[in-house]
Amino acid sequence: MSRSAHADEFALPAVNRSALVLAPTQAYVDWANSCGPGPQLVLSEMRDDALTVYLIPEVDVGPENWLREHYLALFEQELHAWSTDVSTWPRARSFASFQRFFTVHFHPLVFDMGDEPIAGKGD
């Protein structure tokens, strides 16, 4: 098999997105636990089970500028996922607060390993 044929055999379809992963911090867990009765969250369990992946536009130079422009939508999405009662949300929802609540992991390459078309946005 030629080198070229071998390379094509293992080429995976890249998606024209980058991935941004939010991992909750202890500040998020403390806030969630203060929202009312219910099971108490533990950070180690949240780190295993409560990561959220956001597909964002491809970013050439890193996600910092994109994140600074869009952090509030991500922050409020994550708060809403735990409590739909806006009165329980932290009043300070600055970029610094977002950074206290979440650790951000950026992944510039996203590959689609599924056989079905990606669904979303109006599907």
Neighbours of 28 (CB within 10 A): 23
Residue 1 has pLDDT above 50, yes or no: no
Query: Tell me, what's the pLDDT at 94?
Result: 97
- What whole-number distance in Å separates Cα of residue 93 and Cα of residue 80? 13
The pLDDT assigned to 115 comes to 82
pLDDT confidence of residue 103: 94
Whether 71 shows a pLDDT value over 90: the answer reads yes
pTM confidence score: 0.81
Region 70-99: mean pLDDT is 95
* Element holding 73 (H helix, E strand): helix 64-82
Arithmetic mean of pLDDT over the chain: 85
| pLDDT tens-digit readout, 22-53 | 999 999 999 999 987 777 888 887 777 778 99
Going by pLDDT thresholds of 50, 70 and 90, the confidence category of residue 61 is low
At residue 39, the pLDDT reads: 77
Q: Are 26 and 114 in contact (CB under 8 A)?
A: no
Strand ranges, E, within the chain: 17-24, 52-57, 102-107
Instruction: Summarize the confidence of residues 94-123 as an average pLDDT.
Output: 87
For the chain, domain boundaries: 15-107
At 2 the pLDDT is: 47
